[in-house]
Amino acid sequence: MINAPVLFGVGGYVPDAVLDNEALSRIVETSDEWITTRTGIRERRILAPGSGGACMAAVAARRAIEDAGIPPESITHILYATCTPDAMCPPTSCTLADKLGLSGVFTADVNVACSGYIYGLTLTRGLLAAEPEATVLLVAADVMSSRVNWQDRSTCVLFGDAAGAAVFRAGGKGKGILKDALVSSNGALGPLLHVGGGGSATEFKPGDVIGPEFFIRMEGREVYKHAVRCMVKCSRDILERNGLGIEDVDLFIPHQANLRIIEAVGSKLGFPAEKVFCNVQIRGNTSAASIPLAFYEAREAGLIRPGMTVLFATFGGGFTWGSALLQL
């Protein structure tokens, strides 16, 4: 019997710069009322241009390592979930390792958009099963402000920048255990939410003008429909296979896509509002960082206590989706 991964520490980070709806209305034709009515978002944090996600990831990672009470050099594996890497090459996980003063460690980037953290939890389970002596640093960070078209009000109002991190080991006395995780995907639906430009399937050369295909394109209504359906299903599936019901979950932390999706998923699952954590109003959609940042901020707010069962659910481009159960 393989031991469940043990959570030892968590960390999070958001940039200092706040972009609220009033300021955003001076960039694109929109208003605070238009944005809040449709998304529930009032403001989001924006990273300084050219800084790179690894800068945010390093802060969140150091906080998670400090929270775990371990020396940085005990980290053996780094998984970095992002769809906005600092560069096409090298992998941003390598850049992060260098920022943490680490070398000779396993590093890998994971790009499944907003589902990155849950996919990372699944990979963490596999790594610790194969190498029980390992210490895994799972980091999720996205600089969504670098990949939104600031002339497209249907997408630019949604996203913010952030990072979240967690440290896992195969055993020992930690802060909780990862009971289970499941993930899924459907590549046929990828065109509904995508960034086409910049990849090897898009021909471009020096001197070409960067067009809108280099930025997020989304069919909002279709994404909403699939996001709600998939998050509800994977939440029910993971509870069923662990012999649990909605009443056994103390806190539900869904991907912070927008308030309408969060409320729809919570309602269909039967969660009372007080059991659904939400920070999208002040963070926006931070993609892969969404769930780990929400968990970190929920704990900082005193909402996470020993003995609780926490359910995560996510949905992202690909399409990808998944859920996870954390027992504290």
Q: Would you please indicate which residues are annotated as catalytic (active-site) residues?
A: 114, 255, 285
Spatial separation of the C-alpha atoms in residues 57 and 141, rounded to whole Å:
6
**Residues 114 and 285: beta-carbon distance below 8 Å:** yes
In terms of Cα–Cα distance, which of 84, 127, 126 is closest to 109?
A: 84
3-state secondary structure of 164: strand
Pairing of strands 106-110, 77-81: parallel
Spatial separation of the C-alpha atoms in residues 21 and 41, rounded to whole Å:
8
DSSP 285: B
State the first-to-last Cα distance of the chain, in angstroms, to the nearest integer: 20
**Residues 283 and 160: beta-carbon distance below 8 Å:** yes
Amino acid at 244: L
- Which residue, chain included where needed, has tokens 């249907």? 154
